[in-house]
Amino acid sequence: MAWIPGGTFWMGSEDFYPEERPVHQVHVDGFWMDIHPVTVAEFRRFVKDTGHVTVAETTPDAADYPDADPADLVPGSLVFTPPPGPVSLDDYRRWWSWTPGADWRHPEGPGSNVGGRERHPVTHVAYSDALAYAGWAGKELPTEAQWEFAARGGLDRATYVWGDVFTPGGRHQANTWQGSFPWQNLVDDGFPGTSPVGSFRPNGYGLVDMAGNVWQWTTDYHSADHGASGRNVAPASACCIPRNPRVEAVVRRDGETYPRRVIKGGSHLCAPNYCLRYRPAARQGDTEETSTCHIGFRCISLEPGPD
C-alpha cells in the first residue's frame, strides 16, 4: 500500500459530464491505499481461504425477482463483445450481453479462464464481493472523495491522472480504447482487454491503474450530480455501464430507483467517442448486484500513517 497524505482538493469537473458538477472543495484525512487494483491471484487466495462465492456465481432466488425472465435467473455476468462493424451508440445491448457462466474465473464465459492473467485486475466482482475481500484483508473500500484525491496524485484540477495532455510525448499513460467504440479497437496502447497491473507509469502517490483498465467500486451512493450528494437518484446519463437484467426486471412498488454505488477510473472500454471517463473527476453509478468484465476494485486502510 502507499500512504496518501491528507489534504484539501477541488473535486469534480465543469468541463465534461453533468454528474461531475459542481466543482467543490473537499478535505480528506490521510490513509493508505492499495498500489494497484486487487488482482486475480489475490482474489483467488481470498476465495481459497474463505470459500467465498461471488454474486456472479450465485443462483438468484426467484422470490426476490418476481418479474424476471427465468432464463436470467442463473449464475452469470455481463460480457463485452464487439460488433463486427459500426453501430448506433443508443443501445448498449449491441455490445453487452448477459452471459450465463461468466464470473471471475471465466471472464468471457464458459470455456474461458484466467490462466496467464494472475496479475490482471480481478473482474466480475459485485459490490458485496469487494466488501467481503476488504473485510478479509483487514481493509476497507474507499469513499469517492478518497479515491479521487488519491487518483490526482497531487495534481489538483488536472484533467488526467498524469496531467492535462492525454498522450504526452505520444506515449499512452493508461489502458483505454483507441479507435471507434465499440467495434474498432486499434490497440495503440498494446492491450485489447485488461492489462497486468502496473503496465503504465504510477501517479504522484505511486499508485498505478487509477485511470483505465477497470472501473473501481467506492462506498458512496451515486447521485445525479455532486450537488445532489446523499440522494439515491438515477444518474444523469449512464454511457458505459450496462444494467444488470436481474435488477432491471424487478418493478419497485414504491417507485424508488435502486441505489447505485459510485465507480471511478474508467476502463479499457472507455473511448473518447463514447465514454471519456478515464479521468479522476469522472464518475458513474452502478447497482450493487452488478458485475461485468470491466469492473474491479482496490482497498484502503485507515491505520496511522508514517511518522
Return the C-alpha torsion angle 16, 17, 21, 25, nearest 10. Answer: -50
Q: Which three cell numbers stand for residue 204?
A: 504522484
Of 142, 126, 162, the C-alpha closest to 28 is 142
Residues 91-104: what's their mean pLDDT?
94
pLDDT band at 244, cuts 50/70/90? Answer: low
Q: Which backbone phi and psi does 136 adopt, to 5 degrees?
A: -65, -35
The DSSP line for 73-126 is: SSSEEEEE---SS---TT-GGGTEEEEET-SSSSTTSTT---TT-TTSBP-S--
How far is the C-alpha of 172 from the C-alpha of 151, rounded, in Å? 17
Of 36, 90, 5, 9, the C-alpha closest to 212 is 36
Q: Going by C-beta distance under 8 Å and a sequence separation of 6 or more, which residues neighbour residue 28?
A: 4, 6, 7, 9, 143, 145, 146, 149
pTM of the model: 0.92
- Tracing cell 447505485 back to the chain, one arrives at 260
Mean pLDDT (the chain, rounded): 90
List, for residues 19-66, the tens digit of each pLDDT value: 999 999 999 999 999 999 999 999 999 999 999 999 999 998 888 777
Q: Interior CA angle at 20 toward 221 and 87, to 5°?
A: 95
List, for residues 171-195, the tens digit of each pLDDT value: 999 999 999 999 999 999 999 999 9
Around Cβ 307, how many Cβ atoms within 10 Å?
3
- Tracing cell 487509477 back to the chain, one arrives at 210
How far is the C-alpha of 94 from the C-alpha of 115, rounded, in Å? 28
Contact in structure between 116 and 215 (CB atoms under 8 Å): no
Running DSSP on this structure, what letter comes out for residue 21?
A: P
Q: For residue 151, give the H/E element and its range.
A: helix 144-152
List, for residues 249-260, the tens digit of each pLDDT value: 444 434 455 678
Can you state the percent helix, strand and coil of the chain, rounding each to 5? Answer: 20, 20, 65
